[in-house]
């Protein structure tokens, strides 16, 4: 065709009516332009509509019991037959165990087993319910920790006592058990000795050491963090440990605070410092004398050597 006004007119392509019968039903005498974008999209859309959908294939669904067995098979108990890992400090403990420790381990293991079974049963019930509702995705089972913090600490304390503290006590001859509830009564039996120390009638090695420290480095510096830690270590009552020291401080405070202990009698220490740094070790010395049936010199040696034992015993 000749160009008109600078434009080229293309001849429209026509499609025979019988070619569109399947798509549009009855024949039409109207010519259809199949080259336009709208016509092409229409034909493509109809072809897509007429494509038969693929039927879903049946997949075998595992039962909740099978799922539980699969999950259970992936859960491994980290406790071997002859090795038990402390749930608190993660120390590996090898069998055979002392009677008290074995009893504690069995008790904790039984609690673990029972709690795991309860979780599994609850999960099976949940799976059955969700499948009945037609849910396809089901959350996997994640077992929660079956040991309480109290049980963890209980096992840890027992294994330290049975495997570390008691053998050391037996080796050194220290008491394997300490009756802390009787400490207050025992302190009252030598209360007058302590009064003599407070009033200056009897010398105390610990009071003399405190005075020398103040004279050497000054009162304020003697109370800095480093010095306080040193004072605390030196004043521990041997194998009575921190637990014993707490009982002694409480008893001594009731006996002497706001009474014999004053700024004048305690100088250069404060009353509570005097109790911690002077009277507590003096009490420890006398209690060890009674326990071990030794003199003061030997008792002082034992008290110094047994400080580490006392720390473990107080756990």
pLDDT tens figures, 155-178: 998 998 889 888 888 888 888 888
Per the CB < 8 A criterion, the answer to whether 280 and 237 are in contact is yes
Average pLDDT over residues 146-162: 88
154 compared with 37, residue with greater pLDDT: 154
- Could you tell me what percent of the chain has a pLDDT over 70? 74
10 compared with 103, residue with greater pLDDT: 103
Q: Is the per-residue pLDDT at 273 higher than 80?
A: yes
**Confidence at residue 240, expressed as pLDDT on a 0 to 100 scale:** 94
pLDDT band at 24 (very low <50, low <70, confident <90, very high): very low
pLDDT band at 236 (very low <50, low <70, confident <90, very high): very high
Q: Is the per-residue pLDDT at 289 higher than 90?
A: yes
Q: Is the per-residue pLDDT at 23 higher than 80?
A: no
Token couple for 14: 């026509």
Q: Which residues contact residue 184 at a Cβ distance below 8 angstroms, ignoring those fewer than 6 apart?
A: 247, 250, 251
Q: What secondary structure does DSSP assign to 11-30, as a single string?
A: PPP---GGGGHHHHSS---S
Q: Is the per-residue pLDDT at 154 higher than 70?
A: yes
The rounded mean pLDDT for the chain is: 79
Q: Is the per-residue pLDDT at 90 higher than 50?
A: yes
258 compared with 75, residue with greater pLDDT: 258
Residues 23 and 236: their CA atoms lie apart, in Å, by 101
**Confidence at residue 136, expressed as pLDDT on a 0 to 100 scale:** 77
**Confidence at residue 19, expressed as pLDDT on a 0 to 100 scale:** 52
Q: Which of 43-47, 122-126, 190-194, 218-222 has the lowest mean pLDDT?
A: 43-47
User: Could you count the other beta carbons within 10 Å of the beta carbon of residue 129?
Assistant: 12
Q: Is the per-residue pLDDT at 22 higher than 80?
A: no
**Confidence at residue 73, expressed as pLDDT on a 0 to 100 scale:** 44
Residues 212 and 269: their CA atoms lie apart, in Å, by 12
Give the number of C-alpha atoms closer than 13 A to the C-alpha of residue 282, restricted to the C-beta side: 26
Write out pLDDT tens, residues 36-54: 555 555 555 545 445 455 4
Which of 22-31, 52-61, 91-100 holds the top average pLDDT?
A: 91-100
3-class secondary structure, 267: coil
**Confidence at residue 33, expressed as pLDDT on a 0 to 100 scale:** 53
**Confidence at residue 61, expressed as pLDDT on a 0 to 100 scale:** 43
For 234, phi then psi, to 5°, come to: -70, -25
Q: Is the per-residue pLDDT at 32 higher than 70?
A: no
Q: Which of 78-87, 150-159, 180-189, 294-303 has the lowest mean pLDDT?
A: 78-87
**Confidence at residue 264, expressed as pLDDT on a 0 to 100 scale:** 87
3-class secondary structure, 183: helix
**Confidence at residue 60, expressed as pLDDT on a 0 to 100 scale:** 42
């Amino acid at each position: 065709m000749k160009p008109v006004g600078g434009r080229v007119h293309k001849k429209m392509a026509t499609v025979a009516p019988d070619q569109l019968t399947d798509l549009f039903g009855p024949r039409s005498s109207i010519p259809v332009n199949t080259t336009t974008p709208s016509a092409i999209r229409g034909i493509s859309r109809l072809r897509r509509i007429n494509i038969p959908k693929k039927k879903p294939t049946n997949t075998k669904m595992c039962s909740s019991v099978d799922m539980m067995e699969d999950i259970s098979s992936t859960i491994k108990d980290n406790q071997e037959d002859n090795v038990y890992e402390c749930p608190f400090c993660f120390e590996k403990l090898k069998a055979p165990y002392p009677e008290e420790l074995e009893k504690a381990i069995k008790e904790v293991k039984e609690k673990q087993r029972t709690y795991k079974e309860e979780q599994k049963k609850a999960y099976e019930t949940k799976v059955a319910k969700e499948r009945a509702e037609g849910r396809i995705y089901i959350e996997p089972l994640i077992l929660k920790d079956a040991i309480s913090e109290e049980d963890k600490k209980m096992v840890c304390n027992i294994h330290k006592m049975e495997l570390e503290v008691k053998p050391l006590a037996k080796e050194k001859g220290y008491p394997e058990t300490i009756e802390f509830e009787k400490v207050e009564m025992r302190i009252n039996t030598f209360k007058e000795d302590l009064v003599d120390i407070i009033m200056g009638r009897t010398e105390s090695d610990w009071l003399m050491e405190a005075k020398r420290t103040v004279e050497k480095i000054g009162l304020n510096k003697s109370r800095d963090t480093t010095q306080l830690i040193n004072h605390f270590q030196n004043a521990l009552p041997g194998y009575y440990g921190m637990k014993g020291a707490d009982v002694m401080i409480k008893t001594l405070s009731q006996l002497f605070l706001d009474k014999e202990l004053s700024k004048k009698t305690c100088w250069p220490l404060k009353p509570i410092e005097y109790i911690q740094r002077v009277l507590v070790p003096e009490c420890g010395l006398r209690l060890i004398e009674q326990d071990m049936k030794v003199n003061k010199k030997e008792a002082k040696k034992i008290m110094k050597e047994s400080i580490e034992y006392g720390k473990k015993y107080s756990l």
